A and B are shown apart, each in its own frame.
Chain A
Amino acid sequence: MMAEIVPLPRDRATSVPRSDNSGPPLAVRAHRLAEIAVAWALAGPALGLLVALFILPVFAVFAIALTDWQFGASTMSFVRFANFAEVFADPSFRVSLKNTIVYVLIVVPGTIVLGLVIALLIESGKCRAFYRAIHFLPFMATLTAMAIAWEALLHPTIGLLNQALSAIGLPTANWLRDENTVLPVLAVIGIWQNLGFAMVLFLAGLKAIPQDLYDAADIDGADLWLDRLTTVTLPMLGPVMMFVVIVVALKAFEAFDTVQILTQGGPGHASEVLLYTLYRESFQYLRTGYGAAVTIVFLVIVVALTLIQARVMDKRVHYQ
């Protein structure tokens, strides 16, 4: 549409008769230069920040990953890919990677399903603002403080959960000190934290579905709860769903604070996740080169996942 109304600068340039064979006239060239200058001036600040805060650090981290530098050391030597070889040979890194994947695989579906169910319940009921607010609170709250509250709840002897379980005669557990329960429990806390975020986005998505589509579904005979959900609600939530999946998956990959506060990766390596490994290697053991290699691996995984998700889901949720 725009191209029909506003002629492109190039068209304008060629339509001006040339006075000599040294390119377009001076005025046109000056105009084009001015346009380029404006474009750079507008994009410049964002580009500068992106380079300074993201792209340069990535290169710096990659450079450090090729050395044996230790934080604070005055010397370092170039070791090529030795750090990467060590990362992949390290059994504790593999455990950490497996834990992270398990954690993500629990948190993402859990958050999506529960967030959607709660959004649908709130949408169909009363007191929407109240329920929306209380479910959104965990997302707003400082996770550090919340983690301490969770620790109290999960305490093996005086914790509310175990007291409640034993009161009704169910077996109790030392939730954060048992290697079979620690990762699922951390995942539940992760779900609890992200639930409100997913729910608020789903609520906004539900609001944007045109009533006409539900009316059409009623007339076409898709008037039962499940039929309406599969015919209208879920397909129309597609773009929101894609966004929530990507954001929650990234947040789950970055899980760190609950692990640091509640378990420090223990017992053994049962709750060690990628970001915690990275932190411990870099800042506790001060093996900066090795930590940088872990960071690069982490970055590659996250970027790859995002790209795959975006490519696959984009095709299926935007109905053009």
Chain B
Amino acid sequence: MSSIVFDEIEKSYGATAVLKKVSLSIADGEFMTLLGPSGCGKSTLLRILAGLELQNAGTVSIGELPVDGIRPKGRDVAMVFQSYALYPHMTVGSNMGLPLRMRRLNAWQRLPVVGRLLPGTHATTRDIAAEVAKTAEALGIGHLLDRKPGQLSGGQRQRVAVGRAMVRHPAVFLMDEPLSNLDAKLRVQMRGEIKELHQRLGVTFVYVTHDQAEAMTLSDRVAVMLDGELLQVAPPQRIYADPDDRRVAEFIGSPKINMLEGIVQEHGRVAVAGATLNSAIGCTAGTAVSVGIRPEALHLDPHAGIESFTGSVRLVEHLGSDLFVHLDLAGQDTRLIARLLAERAPHISIGQTLHLASDPERILFFDANGHRIRRDHETRAASVAQLRELA
């Protein structure tokens, strides 16, 4: 069992609070991604889990045992670093074998010349070499065992770092932005390999990244962090379509979600940027709300209805199957970005006046504090989904 529980973790450097009472449970075998912009505390949380840093308050448990006083070596975790942190003076084989040497050979047996003469050293060293070779074969780096890291490409180094983590079969895999030093193409490839690795090993993965594409494609669940707080923990699809917080909605999705400021009117209608939306949210008239519409939720509306936005086209970006249309809203200083299917919007030219409307179900409302205002049936659906995840 290697479930992980963070219980009210606090961490600060001097007066700067980096983690503010973060609580998070990760199930055994789950792929959990900590996602957030740089400086949000996600790496610190990972380092606290690894034992490389100590929290100021709170408890970390691995496999239901608190590990707070235990050094990294004793926590049965392995980590892949952003820089790979390979020992440059050692061959690939020695790099990968080091965790095993440190655990299976005693201090005398590890001595350079004398160690080899001691009983047991030879057999253990041979076993280690065999295991390293096996792991290296599995990762497709068997032919590189005698090279030094300096002679390898970025992707190969990445594999060696993963191999060094894999070789001793840890209960938990920690990965700190492992793909950010690779070029775009290799990143996509390695992403697939990490996903496969997780499926094959079946152990718990905790993955830190600022790249939402990585988080969305790899994870069972994503924990979105900002300014030392956990904003939402949910499966990728829910994080995207059903965010709890305005900041989550804004961080996830590219291009960014359209955020418009509106005022609630009679009968749950919302006046926003020249349109009047039928919101069905139960707020009193006069409340200020933020209206979030994802670019792909917008579609062309041939007849300018009461619920559609009108504006002139400022910019059109063609992406093959889709195109992004930037619209300057009439009488407003906000801009709307719509992602339209290319075949449905064949001739859009700059300066042209367009009407765009959204499916009412796909419009998100947030209150002045950035909290999501859900309609009644959305609240029910969200709690059902949460119950299902817990089960």
Using a CB–CB cutoff of 8 Å, the interface residues on chain A facing chain B are 210, 212-213, 215-216, 218-224, 226-227, 231-232, 235-236, 238, 319-320
The 8 closest A-B pairs by CB, nearest first: A221-B102, A216-B85, A235-B89, A212-B85, A319-B88, A220-B99, A221-B73, A320-B150
Provide the bound-state CA to CA distance between A231 and B89, in Å.
9
Q: Which of B72, B83, B86, B87 contacts A219 (CB 8 A)?
A: B72
Contact indicator B79/A216 (Cβ below 8 Å): yes
Contact indicator B148/A215 (Cβ below 8 Å): no
Provide the bound-state CA to CA distance between A320 and B150, in Å.
5
Contact indicator B88/A219 (Cβ below 8 Å): no
B325, CB-defined interface residue at 8 Å: no
Q: Of all chain A residues, which has the CB nearest B110?
A: A227
Q: In chain B between 45 and 93, which residues have their CB closer than 8 angstroms to a CB of chain A? A: 47, 50-52, 71-73, 77-79, 81-83, 85-90
Contact indicator B78/A231 (Cβ below 8 Å): no
Q: Can you name 9 A-B pairs with beta carbons within 8 Å? A: A212-B82, A213-B85, A216-B81, A219-B77, A220-B164, A221-B73, A222-B102, A226-B107, A236-B89
Contact indicator A212/B87 (Cβ below 8 Å): no
Contact indicator A223/B73 (Cβ below 8 Å): yes
Q: Which residues of B contact A220 (CB under 8 A)?
A: 73, 98-99, 102, 164
Q: Which of B72, B83, B149 contacts A223 (CB 8 A)?
A: B72
Using a CB–CB cutoff of 8 Å, the interface residues on chain B facing chain A are 47, 50-52, 71-73, 77-79, 81-83, 85-90, 98-99, 102-103, 107, 110, 148-151, 164
Contact indicator A212/B88 (Cβ below 8 Å): no
Contact indicator A222/B71 (Cβ below 8 Å): no
Contact indicator A219/B148 (Cβ below 8 Å): no
Given contacts A219-B73, A222-B102, contact A238 B81 (CB under 8 A): no
Q: Which residues of A contact B102 (CB under 8 A)?
A: 220-222, 227
Q: Of all chain A residues, which has the CB nearest B78?
A: A219
Contact indicator A235/B87 (Cβ below 8 Å): yes
Q: Is the interface of A mostly helix, strand, loop or mixed?
A: helix
Q: Which residues of A contact B110 (CB under 8 A)?
A: 227
Q: Which residues of A contact B107 (CB under 8 A)?
A: 224, 226
Contact indicator B52/A215 (Cβ below 8 Å): yes
Q: Which residues of A contact B47 (CB under 8 A)?
A: 215
Q: Which residues of B contact A210 (CB under 8 A)?
A: 83, 85
Contact indicator B87/A231 (Cβ below 8 Å): yes
Contact indicator B81/A215 (Cβ below 8 Å): yes
Provide the bound-state CA to CA distance between A320 and B149, in Å.
8
Contact indicator A221/B148 (Cβ below 8 Å): no
Q: Which of B71, B73, B98 contacts A231 (CB 8 A)?
A: B98
Given contacts A212-B83, A215-B79, contact A223 B71 (CB under 8 A): yes
Q: Of all chain B residues, which has the CB nearest A218?
A: B72
Given contacts A220-B99, A231-B87, contact A319 B71 (CB under 8 A): no
Q: Which residues of A contact B71 (CB under 8 A)?
A: 218, 223
Provide the bound-state CA to CA distance between A7 and B164, in Å.
42
Provide the bound-state CA to CA distance between A222 and B71, in Å.
11
Q: Of all chain B residues, which has the CB nearest A317?
A: B89
Contact indicator A319/B150 (Cβ below 8 Å): yes
Q: Which residues of B contact A232 (CB under 8 A)?
A: 87
Q: Which residues of A contact B78 (CB under 8 A)?
A: 219
Most chain B CB atoms below 10 A, which of A215, A226, A232, A235:
A215
Q: Which residues of A contact B52 (CB under 8 A)?
A: 215, 218-219
Given contacts A212-B85, A216-B85, A235-B87, contact A221 B150 (CB under 8 A): no
Provide the bound-state CA to CA distance between A216 and B99, in Å.
10
Contact indicator A218/B148 (Cβ below 8 Å): no
Q: Which residues of B contact A222 (CB under 8 A)?
A: 98, 102
Q: Of all chain A residues, which has the CB nearest B89?
A: A235
Contact indicator A218/B150 (Cβ below 8 Å): no
Q: Which residues of A contact B103 (CB under 8 A)?
A: 221
Provide the bound-state CA to CA distance between A223 and B70, in Å.
12
Q: Of all chain A residues, which has the CB nearest B52?
A: A215
Most chain A CB atoms below 10 A, which of B47, B50, B72, B103:
B72
Provide the bound-state CA to CA distance between A212 and B72, in Å.
14
Contact indicator B79/A235 (Cβ below 8 Å): no
Q: Which residues of A contact B88 (CB under 8 A)?
A: 235-236, 319
